[in-house]
A and B are shown apart, each in its own frame.
Chain A
Amino acid sequence: MIEAAFAALGTLFTPSTLSFVLLGVGVGLMVGILPGLGGTVGMSLALPFIFGMDPDQAIALLIGIAAVVHTADTFPSVLLGVPGSSGSQATIMDGYPLARQGQASRALAAAFFASMAGGVIGAVCIFLVLPVARPMVLAFGSPELLMLAVLGLSMVGILSGDRPARGMVMAASGLLLGAVGAAPATPFYRFTAGNLYLYDGIPLAVLALGLFALPEILDLLAKGERIATEGTQPARGSVLQGLKDVLASKWLVVRSAVLGVGVGFIPGLGGSVVDWISYGVAARTSRDSEGFGSGDIRGVIAPESSNNAKEGGALIPTLLFGIPGSGATAVLLGGFVVLGLQPGPRMLTDNLDVTLLIIWTLALANVFGTLACLSVSGLVARLARVPAARLAPFLLVIMLVGAYQSTRSWGDLIAFLVIGTLAWFLRRADYPLPPLLIGFVLSTSVERNLFLSVERYGWSWLGHPGVLVITAMTVALTWGSMRVSKRAEQR
């Protein structure tokens, strides 16, 4: 396998393949920066062009895009408090407060270095687990997937701040919102009121933009202020500071990256929660965690390490089983079909060279992406100093375009405005919004896997070893965080 790995590296370092990696990185960065557009959109844009392309180059292009979306999506998350893609939602929690404190450059630099480390660790992880990946994926049946989704839901606790009851209400609302549209196992459409737009449910990007973007812009406009309310640090020193921050929490980076690979690796869990899970775990297991939520740099580093690593993990079920682990890998599968590659066990034998090329591309694109983002971050960080009144119309247009990409119908725009307005009121009433999003993202997973588990096993699945292990982890994490918050109260 080592020999094959070097042969694949040779393929990657031919000028033509390398130039397609760069092209992919360019597209991925653009798509990542624009709020609401994620890897799915980026790869969809590239897909029509790969017909008739050399397979190596086409793969370089597609993986180049997928690898760096979660590097560039940090810009809007940190600078504007608006998720650049579904993978950087949790970055808002601490990234945006840092930007408001004038530390945008530091937060961005830390995020980029964390992204790069996460991406490279992700690539290394999938290389290492490749030989044993099939049995590992097969260890997760419907009951195990259900309990993993429940573990994800338990993150609601830490994200509700000091209002756990409100957090639960919001999470429950999210679960209900996620139930809109077609039911998993039957042809029944729920809560659609006969409206065709709602048949496929509310698109995630529309919900995420509506929840976070519109209220933020409204508030900025209402107060008439800039994003950075305090003096801005000089850019050069803060890049170095960001690198130092990442080095200081190197174990957090490794841990979050491995977590990201793990979540991406498990098919059907929905890669969109990885950043929240990683944020939640970091907040629960770090020392002096009271600062989380108001500008702790570790709250940026954790999700950013894991969202890049996730794309690596998500490739495993995609390549070996043909079941996509994220939106972007779903489109990648389409690209494979076009190139005449069928995912399956042969990706480890006959097509091993392709698999290895993908891994190398993933690692290299992450490095390219970080360098590109760092080189422009000083410039882009100045956005935080532009008065809101000038920035808002421009942002609103970009967000509407981003929301409209979900299904390209009027429904996207209407849903964005309705959700955004409701979210603004909820925020005013001091209801935490992240739990709503978590409930929404995990809704289908919970429902589907609960249904499948009970249909298949009755209630005996509750005794499956995997279920017991994951339940124990959930209880331990929840108990740990309750203790932390109690200690914080006593102080």
Chain B
Amino acid sequence: MTSENPRARLPVLLLAAAAIAGCQAGGEIDEAAPFVGETVEMIVPFREGGGSDAYARAIAPYLQKHLGSGVQVRVQNVLGASGIQGGNEFALRRRPDGLTLFVTSGSNSLPYLLGEPAVRYDFNDFAGILGSPAGGVVYVSPSTAVRDLASLCRASDLIYGGVSPTGLDMVPLVAFALLDLDVQSILGYQGKGAARVAFEQGETNLDYQTSPAYLASVAPLVDEGTALPMFTFGQVDESGEVVRDPVFPELPSFREAYVTCVGREPAGPGWDAYKAVLVAGFSAQKNIWTHSDAPPARIEALRTAAAAAAADPEFLSLAAELLGGYGFFLGPEAEVVFRRATSLDAASREWLLGLLRDRHGVSL
């Protein structure tokens, strides 16, 4: 607005005044119905059609339903920088009024954990609304010398195919390092789907898949006898222990695999690093957050609505297909679990960075 005519400025001033008045009106929140007449936006940092987007769109109508009448819940996709852009937008540009939610995945938490310079958001400034775990199963080809867990640890012909050393592959890579497996890790496949095809082609012979993909594409191979399941990554529970994956109760968790191979309970900085990447990548895979300095009444209402949605049988049947049958972490519980990942101590951090540097040539 560089117009010299003072009259032309009048409508602009009026608009500005109206906008300010609008903001003030929005500042007073009815404690009993803190969202009436408002629109809640869920920021998904990926394109329509991805896993995060499907999850957000699945839960949005149920959040809306349980937030009460007169509330709209919308999904907005903010793309860029492999998910980091959405986080930056949420943290830096959205007002902490409880009307904006942020749906995160491992692509947001893992770069944060590693201190990627483009990340300008801090999970410590977020309040957890709902968390949902994912799981992963490591399997091996019978073309190798491996027949069971004990022989996995002695095998010397293992080739693992992954996507990127700083993505979800960090979890298996840390696991293999702790087990001291003799494995050649080839990273650079376009996605976990492509890596699974490479496994089927024989280009690799060691792989992992997340639970839904494992059930759909690897379970038939196991039935055929062309894949042998070894262990699950396990789940980090509220007390910080790594327990068996509830979707695969018959498979040992990584902790048990460690005991089988190494002969003692895991401990030390490497183990803490494993738990951190496991939480960031799997145990707290899809999380919904809002700003922690949002009005407390709204945070509370969001948590209540999310808890009700997570118990809604209609949503549960949808979620079972999307997420593979895991439960939910509610509000503060989601935060407690997640903080285990973000409160990595210096020694574990150094261990993790050392692994990436020495074995995978990645200096961060």
Contacts and interface: CB of A to CB of B under 8 A. Distances in A.
Interface in A425-483: 448, 451-452, 455-456
A137 B75 CA distance: 36
Given A138-B197, A323-B194, A338-B54, 7 more contacts: A196-B81, A199-B118, A322-B196, A342-B212, A344-B217, A407-B79, A408-B78
B82 A48 contact: no
Nearest to A334: B49
A340 B212 CA distance: 10
A186 interface: yes
A132 interface: no
Interface stretch (B1-9, B65-73, B183-191, B242-250): B183-191
Sorted nearest first, the 7 A-B pairs with minimum C-beta distance are: A334-B49, A185-B188, A342-B216, A44-B48, A199-B81, A331-B49, A323-B193
A368 interface: no
A187 interface: yes
A224 interface: no
14 contacts: A47-B57, A51-B58, A142-B198, A185-B164, A185-B165, A185-B187, A187-B111, A321-B197, A334-B54, A335-B49, A337-B212, A343-B217, A345-B217, A346-B216
A191 interface: no
B60 to A, nearest CB: 9
Number of chain B interface residues as a range: 35 or more
A47 B47 CA distance: 11
Nearest to A268: B190
Contacts of B78: 408
Nearest to B111: A187
A346 B362 CA distance: 39
B207 interface: no
Interface string B210-229: 00110111001000000000
Given A48-B48, A182-B82, A322 B213 contact: yes
A48 B85 CA distance: 22
B240 interface: no
Number of chain A interface residues as a range: 35 or more
B88 interface: yes
B31 to A, nearest CB: 32
A199 B84 contact: yes
B217 A321 contact: yes
A257 B200 CA distance: 28
A48 B74 CA distance: 10
Interface string A132-159: 0000011101100000000000000000
B193 A452 contact: no
Contacts of B85: 196, 199, 409
Interface in B162-183: 164-166
A186 B216 contact: no
Contacts of A182: 82
Given A407-B79, A409-B79, A456-B159, A323 B54 contact: no
Contact of B362 (A186, A189, A337): A186
A344 B197 CA distance: 11
Interface string A163-184: 0000000000000000000101
A452 B186 contact: yes
B159 A344 contact: no
A383 to B, nearest CB: 31
Contacts of B212: 337, 342
A452 B216 contact: no
A189 B53 CA distance: 25
A295 interface: no
